[in-house]
Chain A
Amino acid sequence: MKSPLSVLVAILSGLLVLAGYFFPFPALIAIRTPMLDWAVTLAGIAGLVAIINLMIGVHLKRLREAGSKRFFSVVVIITFVIVAGFGFYLGPADPNFQKVVTAIQMPIETSLMALLAITLTYSSLKMLQRQRNWMGLVFFLSVILFLVINSGVLAFSAEIPVLQDLLSGFHHIPAAGARGILLGIALGSLATGVRILIGSDKPYSG
């Protein structure tokens, strides 16, 4: 077994946290809260590791290699250095520093999402070409229906009772399937978590 200490740490920490869900004893809560706090801190440090690895391990390494991608790695590194320096100087709460998000990050991401609308619409044109079966047709019709519902054109009148029931019914149809999907996700999370707590899965080793 590779590093039994890691396995022991994972199992013990998991069992203590899980016990706090079902046995709200003060002593247990007193242990559980700092443990969760340490996990939150470690999650932040993990983000730091990811950024350092991205900058040093990927883009700095790419600088040493020849190729057209070296220019874009330069852009990345320079932007990172400028923004980080800007942030250390001004602080994260400074409105000017927050412009990085509102003026750079948000426009770019929103524009990418807008591009997604065009791309998804173009891909939807061939929907029935790829799935020429009953379930593909049901999916196609469901997309059309809920696009129309989401646009709000069907809720044009409150005086037609059938319309209200119809819309209500349409809302319930995906809810049943969504409930089944949620239950399935929960069961899967339960199984995965149990496997980790009993040591069957060790995603942290290596």
Chain B
Amino acid sequence: MAENICPICERPNDPSAERCWYCQAELSPSEQPTPVNGTDWLNGLREESGQTLEPEITDSTIENEKPEEVPDWLARIRTREQMEREAQASGLTAQPESTVAEKKEELPDWLKEIKAGYSGKKSDSEQEDPASESVSPFAPSTVDDQESKTASEDHGDDNDEWLSRLAAWKPTDAEDQSINNEPGAVDSDAAEPETPLTPMETAPKPQFDMDSLAALNQAEFRPFEAKRGSGWQKLNADELEAEQQDDSQPEKQLSFEDLSAAEEELKPANFDINALRETIAVQQTDPDFFGEKTPPEDDEQLDEEELTDDDLQHFNFPGAENKASLSPEGSIFSEAQPEPFKDEFDSSPFVPDDLPDWLATARLGNHEKRGSGPRSEELDAGELAEGLDKANMPAWLQAVRVPTPDADGSDAILPGESTDAGLLAGISGTLQTPNFGVDIRKPVGYGSTLKVSERQKHSANLFANLVDETFIENDVKIPKLTKNRHIIWRLVLAVSLILGILLSTTLFAPYIIQPALFPPEVVSAYDQVDALSAEKPVLLTGDFEAAVAGELSWSSQSLLEHLMRRNINLVILSSNSSGSTLMTRLIENAAINVEGYDLSTHVITLGYLPGGATGVQLLAGNPRAAMPYTHNLDVAWNSNILHSVNSLNDFGAVVVLSDKSESSRNWVEQIRPGLGTTPLIFVVSAQAAPLLQPYYQSGQVSGYIAGFYGSLAYEQLLQQTSGSLAHLGAFQSAMLLVVIIILVGGLVALIHPTSTERKG
């Protein structure tokens, strides 16, 4: 079955196919491609460009022949091109040359070469197939710098001209032409010799990568964009000419020395775009394909090289994987064996005849046969390596890059690739830990001793000295003058008070005022005691310190005498450690004034009740459990006094001797709720009286005797003299003296404030 050749890409397709498998162009069933002069369509373009002086009639004839097949835009392009040719052919050849020459300075070499190649092929493509609508920029073209240059000189630098060439392009017979057999040329299929394309038996699998075509339009396709800005459509033949005329800079990356040497010998129309694709595909798989970069000083060349690398990166050539096995340091351009290139496609108008040196001298191997699909062929790495010159990378790049295995899969162990120590010892292909000059060891274990620097020690010693000074001198340093003044004033006061006390019995005796009014709480206490039954013992509890023993001895003596005169048994108990002793002393002193009152039979001392309020609560709940023994460790509740007592209610009264309001409050709170009708009487010092008064007013306390004045009142109620009356003069003298001193001091403070306050 005869193959159906695509008019655009000139590839064989299945006869039954309606569209080309490669470029998706519409196929006519009986359409046979116009044979091209060779596999290189670019060469065809060059041949056509050599016939630029043919009359325009030919173009117009060609256009008229198939008017229905040429789109409007293409017709306009051709018309315009024809007019320009006529204008140029009139003899202004030098101008385009100069114009082109100017532009050649701007464009890179490779682009100039492309332009040159394109201009050479343009005329051929227009003659042979002016009706071709879609052309492939990757179609092979002739790589003939000289011819392309000539062709490019003939054509202007107009974009429309390039487009007109595109429209006029048609495939030529360039399949049998090899572009380059020189060493160093690009060889995409080095393993297979080039064979002429034969009609396909089966539908070929797409080998043309639309993505790569699209990539050409993207920003990465820099060579064209850098110059034109929007892709390959704007490739201008004049610019290509200009590039062609630029000096081809040696590009180490691609071993352009080799390429340039063969450049002149390069035959036209031998550029295989498929090989170019494969080359770029290799670049994709092997980043180091063009590993060697030019030195930084060669900026212009570097730009071109980068551009070219990037240009080729997105070309997805069939069989690109075959290039992965190439040595990273090698370049297919340097070592690839030249083989005859067979390309069935004619030269494309997009690829100029004057290709860049590297591209022009690239050795194109046999591109893959149109078989069942993309073939993955394994290239011979050794063969490739022999033909490729090793690229020289700059030192900075070589130091940074990570050594990778060879492209052919061989684990080429680079020096220092595997570590001899550490977790990854012996494993190849591992990244070496950079040596920072510091040995990585296990963290040092610190001992229990504190490591202190000299500065820290000095600071610690200083701080310790400061603290020691603080502890040594506890007393607040008062200025000596102020301290003496305080001492003098205190002495004066003490002397005055003591003198007043001492002189009260003699000097102030006539001025002593005996109180005529009795406090109601004292009267109530007296009434309660007077109403007590003599059969019930009275619980006498002491909760005071030895400091007020003197005052309480005066305050309680009358009450105790009253109880003794009633012949009431007394049960002594103390919630203070020294209270029982003090209570015993009080009773002994009181008993002296009461005749017939035997303390051994009428008084029992239970001892010390610890626990404060808790002990009082225990006493209130169960006095037998609270005080099981006397202070002599005798069983208390078997005595005559206590045998009938089971609870506090069995007592005739509870008399509490207290010096603080807190202890008084504890007794009231714990005892009163369970005391019933048993009177609760207090004998307190003057400092506890104000906070005991509410309890008396609320009825919780039956009565209380507070301070010296209370005891004096009680004595008067009892109508007997005791120690209180004897000391009344001293007491009143001292009290009034204190009042006078405080009044005078207050008035002085009001009238004459201190110097600090005046300043403030």
* Direct A–B touching, Cβ under 8 Å: yes
User: Residues of A with Cβ closer than 8 Å to B?
Assistant: 20, 29, 32-34, 36-37, 39-41, 43-44, 47, 67, 91-93, 98, 101-102, 105-106, 108-110, 112-113, 117-119, 121-122, 124-129, 132, 140, 143-144, 147-148, 150-153, 155-158, 163-164, 167-168, 171, 174-175, 178-179, 181-182, 185
Q: Is the CB of B615 within 8 A of A101?
A: no
Pick the contact of A121: B607, B697, B738 (CB < 8 A).
B738
Pick the contact of A40: B472, B520, B547, B610 (CB < 8 A).
B610
Q: Is the CB of B694 within 8 A of A158?
A: no
Q: Is the CB of B741 within 8 A of A121?
A: yes
Q: Is the CB of B621 within 8 A of A36?
A: yes
Per the bound structure, the CA–CA distance linking A157 and B514 in Å amounts to 9
Pick the contact of A185: B493, B610, B665 (CB < 8 A).
B665
Per the bound structure, the CA–CA distance linking A40 and B621 in Å amounts to 13
- Contact A118 to B621, CB < 8 A, known contacts A124-B745, A153-B513: no
Q: Is the CB of A156 within 8 A of B516?
A: yes
B392 to A: closest C-beta gap in Å: 75
Write out the residue numbers on chain B whose beta carbons fall within 8 Å of the beta carbon of A98. Answer: 581, 584-585
> Which 7 residue pairs across A and B have the least CB separation, nearest first?
A125-B745, A155-B517, A151-B735, A43-B611, A109-B547, A155-B515, A40-B611
| Dominant secondary structure at the B interface | helix
Q: Is the CB of A122 within 8 A of B736?
A: no
25 A-B residue pairs with CB within 8 Å: A29-B621, A37-B625, A39-B618, A47-B577, A92-B607, A93-B631, A98-B585, A110-B547, A119-B490, A121-B738, A125-B748, A125-B749, A126-B745, A128-B745, A128-B746, A128-B750, A129-B757, A143-B742, A148-B735, A150-B707, A153-B736, A156-B515, A168-B520, A171-B519, A178-B693
Q: Is the CB of B610 within 8 A of A125?
A: no
B120 to A: closest C-beta gap in Å: 96
Per the bound structure, the CA–CA distance linking A152 and B618 in Å amounts to 39
Per the bound structure, the CA–CA distance linking A40 and B577 in Å amounts to 14
Quick check: is B244 within 8 A (CB to CB) of the other chain?
no
Q: Is the CB of B750 within 8 A of A147?
A: no
Per the bound structure, the CA–CA distance linking A158 and B625 in Å amounts to 49
Q: What is the number of contacts between chain A and chain B, taking CB atoms within 8 Å?
A: 186
Interface residues of B in 603-660 (CB under 8 A from A): 605, 607, 609-612, 614-615, 617-618, 621-622, 625-626, 631-632
Per the bound structure, the CA–CA distance linking A129 and B755 in Å amounts to 11
Q: Is the CB of A101 within 8 A of B578?
A: yes
Q: Is the CB of A178 within 8 A of B493?
A: no
A8 to B: closest C-beta gap in Å: 20
Quick check: is B91 within 8 A (CB to CB) of the other chain?
no
Q: Is the CB of B497 within 8 A of A121?
A: yes
- Contact A150 to B743, CB < 8 A, known contacts A121-B738, A156-B513: no
Q: Is the CB of A175 within 8 A of B731?
A: no
- Contact A36 to B582, CB < 8 A, known contacts A122-B489, A152-B515, A158-B516: no
Question: What 13 additional pairs, Cβ within 8 angstroms, besides A106-B549, A121-B738, A125-B745?
Answer: A40-B609, A40-B618, A43-B611, A47-B577, A98-B585, A108-B546, A113-B547, A117-B734, A118-B497, A122-B486, A125-B741, A148-B735, A181-B691
Q: Is the CB of B739 within 8 A of A182?
A: no
Write out the residue numbers on chain A whose beta carbons fall within 8 Å of the beta carbon of B497. Answer: 117-118, 121
Per the bound structure, the CA–CA distance linking A168 and B520 in Å amounts to 9
Write out the residue numbers on chain A whose beta carbons fall within 8 Å of the beta carbon of B709. Answer: 150-152
Quick check: is B712 within 8 A (CB to CB) of the other chain?
yes
Write out the residue numbers on chain A whose beta carbons fall within 8 Å of the beta carbon of B614. Answer: 36, 39-40, 43
B642 to A: closest C-beta gap in Å: 17
Write out the residue numbers on chain A whose beta carbons fall within 8 Å of the beta carbon of B757. Answer: 129, 132
A189 to B: closest C-beta gap in Å: 9
Binary A-proximity of B476-491 (CB < 8 A = 1, otherwise 0): 0000000000100110
Binary A-proximity of B693-736 (CB < 8 A = 1, otherwise 0): 11101000000000111001000000000000000100110111
Q: Is the CB of B736 within 8 A of A151?
A: yes
Q: Is the CB of A40 within 8 A of B690?
A: no
Pick the contact of A150: B626, B693, B735, B746 (CB < 8 A).
B735
Interface residues of B in 526-583 (CB under 8 A from A): 545-550, 577-578, 581-582
Quick check: is B445 within 8 A (CB to CB) of the other chain?
no
Quick check: is B437 within 8 A (CB to CB) of the other chain?
no
Q: Is the CB of A178 within 8 A of B694?
A: yes
Quick check: is B596 within 8 A (CB to CB) of the other chain?
no
Q: Is the CB of B610 within 8 A of A43?
A: yes
Q: Is the CB of B489 within 8 A of A44?
A: no
Write out the residue numbers on chain B whose beta carbons fall within 8 Å of the beta carbon of A39. Answer: 611, 614, 618
Write out the residue numbers on chain A whose beta carbons fall within 8 Å of the beta carbon of B744. Answer: 125
Write out the residue numbers on chain B whose beta carbons fall within 8 Å of the beta carbon of A112. Answer: 547
Quick check: is B415 within 8 A (CB to CB) of the other chain?
no
Q: Is the CB of A101 within 8 A of B581?
A: yes
Q: Is the CB of A129 within 8 A of B749?
A: yes
Q: Is the CB of B618 within 8 A of A36?
A: yes
Quick check: is B507 within 8 A (CB to CB) of the other chain?
no
Quick check: is B754 within 8 A (CB to CB) of the other chain?
yes
Write out the residue numbers on chain A whose beta carbons fall within 8 Å of the beta carbon of B489. Answer: 122
Per the bound structure, the CA–CA distance linking A182 and B515 in Å amounts to 30
Which residue of chain B lies nearest to A143 when distances are taken between CB atoms in the complex?
B742
Write out the residue numbers on chain A whose beta carbons fall within 8 Å of the beta carbon of B690. Answer: 174-175, 178
Quick check: is B163 within 8 A (CB to CB) of the other chain?
no
Per the bound structure, the CA–CA distance linking A105 and B732 in Å amounts to 27
- Contact A153 to B742, CB < 8 A, known contacts A33-B625, A118-B497: no
Quick check: is B676 within 8 A (CB to CB) of the other chain?
no
Pick the contact of B516: A126, A151, A155, A181 (CB < 8 A).
A155
Q: Is the CB of B738 within 8 A of A147?
A: yes
Quick check: is B686 within 8 A (CB to CB) of the other chain?
yes
